[in-house]
C-alpha cells in the first residue's frame, strides 16, 4: 500500500482525501514509478470540482504531473528501464507516493534537472513552450499580454517570451506579485484588480495593442482581453481560473478586428510521442541554459494537498507548487 490523495466526490479542496492505495505490478506498456515530487496545477482543481470529467470515474487519484524513479517495467517496454529518472504529464493519478504510468508518457530527465524542478515545470513549462512556439509564433518584435504573469505558467512563459525578444506585458493581482512578474520577464505589469487593463495596454503600446493575448483567467477577463488585440491578432484562451467563458457570438471576432481565437490544450500538442519528447527537450534546454528558471515557491507534504488547493484557488501562490510524498 502507498500514500495517495483521492477524490471520492466532487467539491471544494476538502474532498481531497489522504489515504493508502494498492499499486500493482506494471502491465503491458506500463512502468511503475516511485515519485519524489508531484506537480500541483490549476487543472487539478477542474477535475476535483468535476468541471473536467475523470476518465477513470470516481474515486480517482488527483494530480496530473510528477517526477520519480522507475522501479519496475511491464512487458513490451524497451526504451525505459529500472532506475531511470523520469517525469510526466498524464491524466490523473499524480498525487501518490508510487504509481503506474504508460511508458510512452515518461520523459527521461537530464542530469541537470532535479525531480522537484521537473514536477514544477513539466505541465506548466511544456504549456509555455507550445503557446509561444506553436499556437502563436512569438519572436523578436512580438508584443504579448500574459494574464496572471506571476503564476506558474505565467512566470515561465514571461521569462521565455522575454528571451525570444518579445515585449511582454503581464497582469497581476497584487503589488508583490507585480514585482515578482517584473523579475521574471514581464517588462510591464498591470494590476488588473485595480486598473483598467485595456486602457493600460493601449497606453503601454501607444495604441498599437498586442499581437497575441494569453488568457488563462477566462470569465473575469472576457471579453476585455479581445480589446487588447490588434486587428488580425490572436486570442489564446488556455484556461479558466475565474470560471469558464460563456457561449458567445463568433461575430464578436469580426467586430474586434478579424481576430483569430483558439482554446488549446497541452494534451493535443504532445499527443504524439515525438512531439512530447521535442517539447520536453526544448523546455530542458531553456532551463539548463538559464534562460528560464522554475520558481518553486510552495512545497507541501503530500498529506497537505487540501492546503495546496486552497492556496492555489485563493490566489495565494506564485510560481509553481509541488507536493512531496
Ligand atoms: P496559476 O499559478 O497561474 O494560478 C492561477 C492564478 O490566476 C492566480 O494566482 C491568480 O493570479 C489568477 N486568478 C485570476 N482570477 C482568479 C480567480 N478568480 N481565482 C483564482 N485565481 C485567479 O495557475 P497555473 O499556472 O497552474 O495555471 C494557469 C492557467 O493556465 C490556468 O487557467 C490553467 O488551467 C491553465 N493551463 C492550461 C493549460 C493548457 O494546455 N490549456 C496547461 C496548463 C495550465 P493573480 O492573483 O495574479 O490574479
**216 CB less than 6 Å from ligand 1?**
yes
Atom of ligand 1 nearest to the CA of 172: 47
Contacts of 269 (CB under 8 A, 6+ apart): 126, 130, 134, 275, 279
Residue 201 resides in a domain: yes
pLDDT in tens, 236-264: 999 999 999 999 999 999 999 999 999 99
Residue 205 resides in a domain: yes
Percent of the chain with pLDDT over 90: 100
**Distance, CA of 137 to CA of 144 (rounded, Å):** 11
User: Mean pLDDT over all residues of the chain?
Assistant: 98
Whichever domain contains 78, its CATH number is: 3.90.180.10
Residue 126 resides in a domain: no
CA of 71 to the centre of ligand 1 (A): 34
In the chain, which residue ranges form alpha helices assigned H by DSSP?
42-49, 115-130, 152-163, 175-183, 197-204, 251-255, 266-269, 273-288, 305-313
Quote the number of domains for the chain.
Answer: 2
Phi first, then psi: give them for residue 81, nearest 5 degrees: -130, 165
For residue 177, the tally of other CB atoms under 10 A from its CB is: 22
Q: Are 149 and 257 found together in one domain?
A: yes
Sign of CA dihedral 94, 100, 104, 109: positive
CA-based Rg of the chain, rounded to a whole angstrom? 20
**172 CB less than 6 Å from ligand 1?**
yes
Q: In 3D, which of 200, 210, 199, 211 has the Cα closest to residue 178?
A: 200
pLDDT in tens, 98-155: 999 999 999 999 999 999 999 999 999 999 999 999 999 999 999 999 999 999 999 9
pLDDT in tens, 76-113: 999 999 999 999 999 999 999 999 999 999 999 999 99
Residue 135 resides in a domain: no
**89 CB less than 6 Å from ligand 1?**
no
pLDDT in tens, 289-321: 999 999 999 999 999 999 999 999 999 999 999
pTM (predicted TM-score)? 0.98
Whichever domain contains 171, its CATH number is: 3.40.50.720
* Ligand 1: residue whose CA is nearest its atom 9: 315
Residue 134 resides in a domain: no
Query: What range does the domain containing 104 cover?
Result: 2-121+267-324
Amino acid at each position: 500500500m502507498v500514500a495517495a490523495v483521492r477524490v471520492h466526490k466532487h467539491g471544494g479542496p476538502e474532498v481531497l482525501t489522504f489515504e493508502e492505495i494498492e499499486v500493482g505490478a506494471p502491465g503491458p506498456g506500463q512502468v511503475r514509478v516511485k515519485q519524489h515530487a508531484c506537480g500541483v496545477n490549476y487543472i487539478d482543481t477542474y477535475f476535483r470540482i468535476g468541471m473536467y470529467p475523470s476518465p477513470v470515474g470516481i474515486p480517482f487519484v488527483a494530480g496530473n504531473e510528477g517526477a520519480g524513479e522507475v522501479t519496475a517495467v511491464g512487458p513490451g517496454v524497451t526504451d525505459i528501464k529500472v532506475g531511470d529518472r523520469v517525469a510526466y504529464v498524464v491524466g490523473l493519478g499524480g498525487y501518490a507516493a508510487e504509481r503506474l504510468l504508460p511508458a510512452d508518457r515518461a520523459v527521461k530527465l537530464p542530469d541537470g534537472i532535479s525531480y522537484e524542478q521537473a514536477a514544477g515545470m513539466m505541465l506548466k513549462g511544456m504549456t509555455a513552450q507550445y503557446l509561444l512556439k506553436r499556437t502563436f509564433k512569438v519572436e523578436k518584435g512580438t508584443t504579448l499580454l500574459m494574464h496572471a504573469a506571476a503564476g506558474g505558467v505565467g512566470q515561465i512563459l514571461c521569462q521565455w517570451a522575454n528571451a525570444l525578444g518579445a515585449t511582454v506585458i503581464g497582469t497581476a493581482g497584487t503589488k508583490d506579485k507585480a514585482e515578482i512578474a517584473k523579475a521574471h520577464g514581464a517588462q510591464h505589469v498591470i494590476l488588473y484588480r485595480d486598473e483598467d487593463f485595456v486602457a493600460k495596454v493601449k497606453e503601454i503600446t501607444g495604441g498599437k495593442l498586442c499581437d497575441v493575448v494569453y488568457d488563462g483567467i477566462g470569465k473575469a477577463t472576457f471579453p476585455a482581453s479581445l480589446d487588447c488585440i490588434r486587428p488580425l491578432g490572436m486570442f489564446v484562451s488556455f484556461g479558466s481560473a475565474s470560471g469558464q467563458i460563456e457561449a458567445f457570438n463568433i461575430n464578436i471576432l469580426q467586430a474586434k478586428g478579424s481576430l483569430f481565437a483558439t482554446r488549446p490544450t497541452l494534451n493535443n500538442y504532445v499527443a504524439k510521442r515525438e512531439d512530447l519528447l521535442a517539447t520536453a527537450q526544448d523546455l530542458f534546454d531553456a532551463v539548463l541554459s538559464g534562460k528560464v528558471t522554475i520558481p518553486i515557491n510552495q512545497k507541501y507534504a503530500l498529506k497537505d494537498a487540501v492546503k495546496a488547493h486552497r492556496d492555489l484557488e485563493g490566489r495565494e501562490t506564485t510560481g509553481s507548487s509541488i507536493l512531496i510524498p
